[in-house]
Amino acid sequence: MVERLSVDHDNARHLAEGLADVEGLSLGNPEKVRTNIAYMDLTSGISSQEAARNLEKAGVRVLPAGPHRLRAVTHYRITASDVDKALAIFHKIFAGSTL
């Protein structure tokens, strides 16, 4: 699926740009996301394990990549619309609302 990688990379950049606006997350410079992987550091005090569990319950799968770091990956089954839905869920989870 090499011909589709550019779509995955675009989706990852869109995800990173949206995550940069989520309070409680730090991504550095979203413009530097050049692959289909986005890493984020948790600055709200929540552990990556707890954040991953809460996000998965709401429908977003991410992987803990350290005690306070998450890894999100886009692939051929992820659309731009899916990224928008994931961003809305990140905002709700990190705003402390219940889903």
Domains annotated on the chain, with CATH: 2-94 (3.90.1150.10)
Strands 63-64 and 69-73: antiparallel
Three-state DSSP class for residue 56: helix
One-letter amino acid for residue 12 of the chain = A
Interval 66-87: pLDDT, tens: 999 999 998 888 999 999 999 9
Q: How confident is the model at residue 5 (pLDDT cuts 50, 70, 90)?
A: confident
Three-state DSSP class for residue 25: strand
Interval 34-59: pLDDT, tens: 678 889 999 988 999 999 999 999 99
Structure tokens at 48: 């990556």
What's the chain's average pLDDT? Answer: 87
Q: Tell me the residue ranges of DSSP E strands in 1-99.
A: 25-26, 37-42, 63-64, 69-73
